[in-house]
Amino acid sequence: DTGVSQNPRHKITKRGQNVTFRCDPISEHNRLYWYRQTLGQGPEFLTYFQNEAQLEKSRLLSDRFSAERPKGSFSTLEIQRTEQGDSAMYLCASSSGGGRNTIYFGEGSWLTVV
Amino acid sequence: AQTVTQSQPEMSVQEAETVTLSCTYDTSESDYYLFWYKQPPSRQMILVIRQEAYKQQNATENRFSVNFQKAAKSFSLKISDSQLGDAAMYFCAYRGNSGNTPLVFGKGTRLSVIA
């Protein structure tokens, strides 16, 4: 069990550029979540996968955001035409089920849009 | 929609003393789970303690315990014998038991531990 891994840990990009973050969940965890966290706030839910199926998307996930989990293992979160308001930490998490099952978080990917 | 409120943006405690962090939530569900997560500076978020709503007994994990008041929709965290390593952001979180509900977080409480 190597934990949830996220890459890159930090990304600085110019406004208008595209960025992609990768998340490798804990092995055999079928559920994968993306959250966004800004300074002084709690994490806000973006989207959720069960295996390769994207089952839920928050209204926070605008058309510029797309997430995939092609083989039910790793996931990518792409932000197109970045805006300064996208600056945040993007957290990935995974779990082996719902309800009381522990959701394990990665260390996050910090995005700064300049 | 479920909401979680943490009314204390910052708290401080002397080393070895006890501190209580407050959390209230709003839900129309009867079956759900409540969690406290700890996020140290520049470190990943880790689970501190969880409570099943159907259990009346308050959860305890070593120095961490909760006071769960279901009727009042209150879920406070008590840290006993505070240690320097307890300094972190603490987030209260709610998760329903129906289908695919994600974790809903409060805004967090920053805890400082004074030596």
User: Does the beta-carbon distance from A33 to B107 stay under 8 Å?
Assistant: no
Mean pLDDT of A83-107: 91
User: Does the beta-carbon distance from B103 to A45 stay under 8 Å?
Assistant: yes
pLDDT score for B99 = 61
Q: Give which of B8, B42, B43, B45 to mutate to test A binding, by max A Cβ within 10 Å.
A: B45
Q: What percent of chain A has pLDDT over 90?
A: 79
Closest listed residue to residue A113, CA positions, set A62, A38, A49: A38
Mean pLDDT of A45-71: 92
Give the position of tokens 């910090």.
A110
Residue A98 has pLDDT above 80, yes or no: no
Mean pLDDT of A50-60: 90
pLDDT score for B26 = 95
Pairs of residues, one from chain A and one from chain B, whose beta carbons lie less than 8 Å apart: 57
User: Chain-centre distance of CA B17, in angstroms?
Assistant: 18
User: Does the beta-carbon distance from B107 to A3 stay under 8 Å?
Assistant: no
Q: B94-103 pLDDT, tens per residue?
A: 998 876 678 9
Closest listed residue to residue A58, CA positions, set A33, A82, A81: A33
Q: B4-49 pLDDT, tens per residue?
A: 999 999 999 999 999 999 999 999 988 999 999 999 987 889 999 9
User: Does the beta-carbon distance from A103 to B103 stay under 8 Å?
Assistant: yes
Residues 6 or more apart whose Cβ sits within 8 Å of residue B33: A99, A100, B50, B51, B52, B53, B94, B95, B96, B97
One-letter amino acid at A77 equals L
User: Does the beta-carbon distance from B102 to A45 stay under 8 Å?
Assistant: yes
CB A7 within 8 A of CB A19: no
Chain B residue numbers with beta carbons less than 8 Å from the beta carbon of A54 are none
Would an 8 Å CB–CB cutoff place A41 in contact with chain B? yes
Q: B56-77 pLDDT, tens per residue?
A: 899 999 999 999 999 999 999 9
Mean pLDDT of A16-33: 95
